């Protein structure tokens, strides 16, 4: 009885098959490494953006709760070792129709991979005591 074999030669790979496999791997691996590296960098940036957005919202709510803010600029860092810093800019809105209105802009900035990133939000705050005329 003859023994049927899938391969007509001895078991193992030829040098040409190994060479083709190594060439394909050499072409594919750098692309995969670049994709993983880019994904990791984008996840880190997205994580920082989400954190900055929460900090921005928190700072904006804090300024709204304190009432009528003073005109001018302020800046500080969130916490001791934080990479995030905030800046607020409060300006008077000059209008004949509306009195006591101020524009409050808060910006949260941080450095990511050597580039300065930031996110901003603004709102209007009115004086709580309205004078009757």
Residue 6 pLDDT class (50, 70, 90 cuts): low
Average pLDDT over residues 21-47: 91
Average pLDDT over residues 112-127: 92
Task: Quote the pLDDT of residue 85.
Answer: 96
Task: Quote the pLDDT of residue 133.
Answer: 55
Distances (CA, A) of 5 to 8, 9, 13, 20: 6, 9, 15, 24
| C-alpha–C-alpha distance, residues 121 and 53, integer Å | 9
- Identify the bridge partners of residue 119 per DSSP, sorted by sequence position: 108
Residue 54 pLDDT class (50, 70, 90 cuts): very high
Give the model confidence (pLDDT) of 89-98 as tens digits: 999 988 778 7
In SS3 terms, the chain reads as CCCCCCCCCCCCCCHHHHHHHHHHHHHHHHHHHHHHHHHHHHHHHHHHHHHHHHHHHHHHHHHHHCCCCCCEEEEEECCCCCCCEEEEEEEECCCCCCCCEEEEEEEEEEEECCEEEEEEEEEEEECCCCCCC
Write down the pTM of the prediction. 0.69
Report which of residues 99 and 31 the model is more confident about: 31
113: left (phi > 0), else alpha (psi -120 to 50), else beta?
left
Give the model confidence (pLDDT) of 71-83 as tens digits: 999 999 988 788 9
């Amino acid at each position: 009885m003859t023994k049927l074999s899938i391969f007509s030669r001895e078991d193992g790979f030829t040098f040409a098959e190994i060479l083709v496999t190594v060439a394909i791997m050499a072409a594919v691996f750098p692309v995969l490494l670049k994709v993983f590296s880019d994904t990791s960098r984008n996840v880190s940036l997205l994580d920082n953006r989400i954190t900055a957005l929460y900090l921005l919202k928190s700072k904006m709510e804090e300024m709204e709760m304190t009432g009528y803010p003073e005109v001018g600029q302020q800046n500080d860092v969130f916490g001791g070792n934080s990479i995030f810093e905030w800046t607020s800019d409060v300006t008077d809105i000059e209008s004949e129709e509306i009195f006591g209105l101020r524009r409050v802009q808060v910006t949260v900035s941080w450095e990511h991979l050597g580039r300065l990133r930031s996110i901003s939000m603004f709102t209007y705050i009115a004086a709580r005591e309205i004078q009757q005329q």
